[in-house]
Amino acid sequence: MSASLHPTLLSPLRFDKGLCELLLIDQLALPGEEIWRRYSDYQAVADAIRNMVVRGAPAIGIAAAFGVVLGVKAGEPLEQVIATLRSTRPTAVNLFWALDRMQRRAAELSMLSHHKQVEGLCTEAQAIWDEDVAMCLRMAEHGAKLLPPGNVLTHCNAGGLATGGYGTAVGVIRSAFALGHIAGVFADETRPFLQGARLTAYEFQKAGVPVTVICDNMAGHLMARGEIQSVIVGADRIAKNGDVANKIGTYSLAVLAKAHGIPFFVAAPRSTLDPKTASGRDIPIEERSTEEVVKIGPVRLAPVGVLARHPAFDVTPAHLVTAIITDAGIARAPYDTSLSALLLAT
């Protein structure tokens, strides 16, 4: 079944084939309002990715694929369209994976009529979306039984809103709860964009999974009290050696989990694996506007003129990761060997 028609999925995007428009749920407005915004211009899609109207590595890749469709339909030079979309977010490798795939498909279609090119690219973008949903469902199947009984902690939002539908880490948790393997979820609020408090809590509430939001700096306390039995997160890029780039604050959780003897899992589709990047040292870390740190919406939290930093991601070393759950199976150390084998799996 097409991702756009799956009845049980919460997806951040839709595509109107009749009007050739991409629809994105405005994740900046959630959970207060569910606003769908329409895009018929690839540059507007690029802005939506850059400004985090759509976010989450797989969802960014899918949105960018449809952005290519819009650009080609408008007669814009393919190289310009690809370059604009590639420049939006530097850390999430799914973005580049999807754009490379669309570029290859465009080359294959180059001798056809303009209409046929657009039609073929639309089919390819839809395939990327559908395949992402299928990967999420397989990840959930592989990972659900790994979570030990009790409560699981997750960080940021690695759910349906961050993917084509169902989610990576959130998908694993949903399936584990449905099987009766876990009791409930703690969701870090995830400063400064509050994806955990706004989006992950929203998704679990809609799915009927018991969720408790905590401030990011509460995790160690709850681990020490024995209230957290596992941690699972998503990823924006996984290096060849198993180092994991994910939302800022992930590394701190991994260190805390190690100190308390708690397993730390990562869930990501194979499109997030980057065999061309040797280690986490080589992963580009996006630095976002400091205004996102000193303000929440229109409300200023810090004095005017105060300095701030906003690295959007951090890198968790492979030795802190218990296992990496992918659509092709579960990887364990040594990751350079196990991840390479999963990339070759059919």
132 is catalytic: no
For residue 14, what are the CA distances in angstroms to 3, 41, 126, 184, 250?
9, 15, 10, 30, 30
- Listed in sequence order, the DSSP H helices in the chain are 42-50, 57-73, 78-86, 93-108, 114-143, 169-178, 195, 201-207, 219-224, 250-259, 291-294, 335-344
State how far the Cα of 108 lies from the Cα of 216, in Å rounded to an integer: 47
Catalytic residue chosen out of the listed positions 188, 236, 314, 327: 236
Phi, psi of 188 (to 5 degrees): -60, 140
H-helix or E-strand containing 211? strand 211-214
Residue with tokens 């492979």: 318
State the Cα–Cα distance between residues 199 and 202, nearest whole angstrom: 5
- The rounded distance, in Å, linking the Cα atoms of 59 and 158 is 10
Would you please indicate which residues are annotated as catalytic (active-site) residues? Answer: 236
